[in-house]
Structure 1
Amino acid sequence: MDCVANRGNAKITLAIIEEIHKNAAYLSEIDGATGDGDHGVNMDKGFMMAKERIDENMDFSESLKILGRTLIMDIGGSMGPIYGTMFSRLNRRFKKEECITKEVMLEALNNAIEGLMDLAGAKVGDKTLIDTLYPATESYKQALSENKNFNECLQALSEGAEAGKENTKNLVAKIGRAARLGERSKGFLDAGATSCCIILKTMAASMQEELDSE
């Protein structure tokens, strides 16, 4: 069946956490160009805290819920509520399913975009993680409309995330500390868009592994 099991698949979330941990210094370096330089530190702190609360035998949706709740409740700044909302929105759609289909995945991604736009007031082009999440979702949606299989749709998600992240170099920051730089924020990657890219690409790759192992 062209779907990813929800039950017992917390390893997908644990893979995301590990990838953020490995890239913590890189994310802070990117953030240092236009912001406080603490994005990687804060991400690593929250994600590793959540890791201690996740059992690898948990459902994928339950592990996302724990990650989201940990970021919202235990991590300060803007990152906690933003990523907490994203993971909570994904969980909200996945938790109803024993097996996550490519159609359910699109609904979950759209829910995450809606939640983030409502929370932060960010739009496409504001140089935020939306500029990774939105084009990644659009790329996924296009692949789905062409009746591609789940694996191919996830590949499209990953490629869309990478393209979206890279495009933030061309954008002027409208929200957050980087917005104070105005035109000077151009030419740099956005740290949130970069961490979002890591999350989406890791999630896609982990789900592809599950599909390949069926």
Structure 2
Amino acid sequence: MTACAAYVEREEDRLTELDSPIGDADHGGNLRRGFAAVTEALAAEQPATPGEVLTGAGRRLVSKVGGASGPLYGTLLRRTGKALGDTPQVSREELAEALATAVDAVAQLGGARQGDATMLDALYPAVEGLRTSYAAAAEAAEGGAAATEPLQARKGRASYLGERSIGHRDPGAASSALLFAALAEVAG
């Protein structure tokens, strides 16, 4: 989680820049604030299991990140943590299975699907890549984020722009790719 926070902090301006033409220009700042709160909470109290880390991080993101990103990322992390349970160590394969369940929950919460130019376009390929390796997950997430550029957004604030959303990378997909890049750096 601390690596995720570092990635988000480093890329805050780029995430906000991506959000400016199709959103409300707050994605980078909101995520930075949320992940800073996560690292602060982890420094104050070390959870015993990976599931507890993710569940707690998800709760913090819901409480600290505005807009849709808080509930969506919060759901992703909380559901992953819940799926992992109290297992003290988690394999890459177990993480992939837990994330698959969590990404489906995010899709249900947002009413979106892959191809709608949302974070799901990075998350679904990342989960599939994770079945192979951490590096494959990061590469797939980045490819999925890039693939949102030619799409017309069908969900989220960008969908209000209709065809004008074409040509813009989805900020949620871009931030999702950052999280998998951090995971690959730490676990890979």
Normalising by structure 1, what TM-score? 0.82
Extract unaligned runs of 5+ from structure 1: 1-12, 144-152, 209-214
Aligned-pair distance for 1:83? 0.4
What is the aligned length?
186
* Residue 180 in structure 1 maps to residue 160 in structure 2: yes
Instruction: State the 1:22 CA deviation.
Output: 1.4
What is the TM-score with the length of structure 2 in the denominator? 0.92
Residues 15-164 of structure 1: pairs in structure 2 closer than 5 A: 15-55=3-43, 57-58=46-47, 59-141=49-131, 143=132, 153-164=133-144
Letter in 2 for 1:199: L
SS in 1 for 2:90: strand
Q: Which runs of 4+ in 1 moved over 6 A?
A: none
Offset at 1:57? Answer: 4.7
Equivalent position SS for 2:98: helix
Q: Are the aligned partners of 1:93 and 1:104 in contact in 2 as well (CA < 8 Å)? A: no
SS across alignment from 2:175: helix
Deviations 1:131-167 (A, max 9, x none): 00011222334x3xxxxxxxxx111111111110110
Question: What percentage of residue pairs aligned between the two structures are identical?
Answer: 35
Structure 1 Cα separation of the partners of residues 160 and 172 of structure 2: 16
Q: CA RMSD in A?
A: 1.5
Residue-by-residue CA offset, 1:41-99 (whole Å, 9 max, x unaligned)? 11111111222111385443322222100111333321110000001112112333222
Shift of 1:112: 1.4
89-98 or 171-180: bigger deviation: 89-98
Structure with the greater relative contact order (CA < 8 A, sep ≥ 6): 1 or 2? 1
Secondary structure of the corresponding residue to residue 113 of structure 2: coil
Counterpart for residue 202 of structure 1: 182
Q: In structure 2, the residue corresponding to 1:53 is in which secondary structure? A: helix
What per-residue deviation string (whole Å, max 9, x for no partner) do you get for residues 90-123 of structure 1?
2112333222113202211211111101111110
Q: Which runs of 5+ in 2 are unaligned?
A: none
Code of the aligned partner of 1:135: P
Q: Does the aligned pair in 1 maintain the 2:125–2:141 contact within 8 Å?
A: yes
How far apart are the structure 2 equivalents of 1:86 and 1:61? 12
Look up the equivalent residue of 1:200 and give its one-letter code: F
